[in-house]
C-alpha cells in the first residue's frame, strides 16, 4: 500500500482524461488534494508562484500536449529551484507506448516512473516515494 500524499497535480490537456485520473485517485484515497492543469506552461507558472509547503508531492504529467509537451516541460522544470525538484516527483502518464518516449523518460533524472494510461488503483498502490 502506498502512503497518502497531501497534494497531487495532474497535467493533461484532455479534461476527460483529467476527470478519469482524478476519479481513480479519489477512489483510492491516494491524497488529500488533487489539482489539475491543461497546459505545461500553466503548471510551470503555478510551481514558481506557490509556497514550498503547498507544492505537489507528485506530478502526473502527460507527454503529448499542444504548445509544450511533457518533455519540453521537463526541460523547463530543470531550470526551476532545487527546492521544487526535491519536493515534486514526476510520473509520466501517457498513452504513448513508444520505445523512444520510454527511453527518453528513463534518461531524465526528474522522471520517477513512466506509466501507461489508463491509471489504475494498482498503479497508485505501487507508488511510494
* Number of structural domains the chain divides into: 1
The whole domain housing 37 covers 5-125
Sign of CA dihedral 64, 29, 90, 48: positive
Interatomic CA distance for residues 29 and 38, integer angstroms: 23
Per-residue pLDDT tens for 81-102? 999 999 999 999 988 778 899 9
The SS3 of residue 64 is coil
Grid cell for residue 123: 498503479
pLDDT tens sequence across 32-50: 999 999 999 999 999 999 9
Residue pair 65/92 in contact (Cβ under 8 Å)? The answer is no
Is the whole model's pTM more than 0.85, yes or no? yes
Q: What is the pLDDT of residue 3?
A: 81
Q: Say which CATH number the domain at 16 has.
A: 3.40.50.2300
Task: Supply the pLDDT for residue 98.
Answer: 85
93 DSSP β-pair partners: 115
Higher pLDDT, 55 or 102: 55
Amino acid at each position: 500500500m502506498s502512503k497518502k500524499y497531501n497534494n497531487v497535480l495532474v497535467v493533461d490537456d484532455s479534461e476527460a482524461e483529467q476527470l478519469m485520473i482524478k476519479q481513480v485517485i479519489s477512489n483510492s484515497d491516494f491524497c488529500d488534494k488533487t489539482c489539475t492543469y491543461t497546459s505545461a506552461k500553466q503548471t510551470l507558472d503555478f510551481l514558481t508562484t506557490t509556497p514550498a509547503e503547498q507544492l505537489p508531492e507528485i506530478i502526473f504529467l502527460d507527454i503529448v500536449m499542444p504548445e509544450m509537451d511533457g518533455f519540453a516541460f521537463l526541460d523547463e522544470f530543470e531550470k526551476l529551484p532545487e527546492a521544487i525538484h526535491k519536493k515534486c516527483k514526476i510520473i509520466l502518464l501517457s498513452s504513448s507506448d513508444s520505445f523512444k518516449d520510454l527511453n527518453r523518460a528513463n534518461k531524465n533524472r526528474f522522471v520517477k516512473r513512466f506509466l501507461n494510461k489508463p491509471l489504475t488503483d494498482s498503479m497508485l498502490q505501487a507508488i511510494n516515494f
